[in-house]
Amino acid sequence: MIHFLPSFTFEGFYFGPFYIYSWGLAVAIGILVAIWTASKRLTLLKKIQNKEYLGISEDTLWNFSIWLVIAIFLGARISYILETWNYYSSNFSAILKLWEGGFSFFGGALGGLLFGYYWCKKKKIDFLTLGAIFTPAWLWGLFFGRIGCFLIHDHLGKPTNLPWGIHLHGAYRHEPALYEAIWILLVVLGLYLWEKKKKFKTINEIIFPLSLILYSFGRFWIDFLRADPIEGGDDRFWGLTVAQWISIVVVSGSVWMIGKIKQKIVGRNF
């Protein structure tokens, strides 16, 4: 079997006296791209409404984004520590070694959602309005994060004979982080084409929960390709990873949310 993807690991590089970690750099780029995308999205939504979009200015958006990033990182780190407590309970000092990675996407998502909901309540802004502004921005942020994961291979995949397997830990393996990055690109493209078909004439109130459904659907299936715990992979509970169980909850909650949104839209039309 010929494998056409080169086997490599790119931990980082020196920039003068400073060592730049590739994962951290990818995450930083993702954050900046996500905030920039949300800013452009806000401008677009204001044009659609032909007025100030519910009192959200660009400065307000950037200030919110800074606190949002902090909430996401806290949620992601705490969740990862809890998921891998067997390791951290005996390596307590490693909790502060953020440069080594160790963040859970769904933990970060929960931290971001909780802070976003709190902020909307405080500012008296509709939560779905905020979701519409940050979709697909949050997907772009996650895309760059997964590219960073791919560079350091911190999501070990199961062995495979497919030609795009990457040689790691004595076998050619799937690369879940790369698969997820590709899936995210497809989701972003699909959402763009969907809104383009609607000619961006109205605010798409369901785009945020729909983006959660599409991402979680892909994440659920991709996780079947992650390595088993005995190989240094992800723990499983009743045959599924923690992320797969959370994906089920996210999809169910998002479907319920879309149903409530459609009921509200129907009610407005009467």
Task: Give the model confidence (pLDDT) of 201-214 as tens digits.
Answer: 555 678 899 999 99
> Does residue 1 belong to any structural domain of this protein?
no
Whether residue 135 has pLDDT greater than 70: yes
> Does residue 5 belong to any structural domain of this protein?
no
> Does residue 69 belong to any structural domain of this protein?
yes
> Does residue 156 belong to any structural domain of this protein?
yes
pLDDT of residue 101: 62
Total structural domains within the chain? 1
Tens-digit pLDDT profile for residues 71-116: 988 888 888 777 677 667 777 777 776 666 677 777 888 888 899 9
Q: Is the dihedral of CA 9, 12, 14, 15 positive or negative?
A: positive
Distance CA(16)–CA(234), nearest Å, equals 36
Confidence at 270, pLDDT banded by 50, 70, 90 = very low
> Does residue 59 belong to any structural domain of this protein?
yes
> Does residue 87 belong to any structural domain of this protein?
yes
> Does residue 6 belong to any structural domain of this protein?
no
pTM summary value: 0.85
Is residue 12 exposed (0-12), middle (13-18) or buried (19+ Cβ within 10 Å)?
Answer: middle
Domain carrying residue 228: 13-268
Confidence at 194, pLDDT banded by 50, 70, 90 = confident
Give the number of other CB atoms < 10 A from CB of residue 37: 20
> Does residue 239 belong to any structural domain of this protein?
yes
Average pLDDT value for residue range 36-40: 92
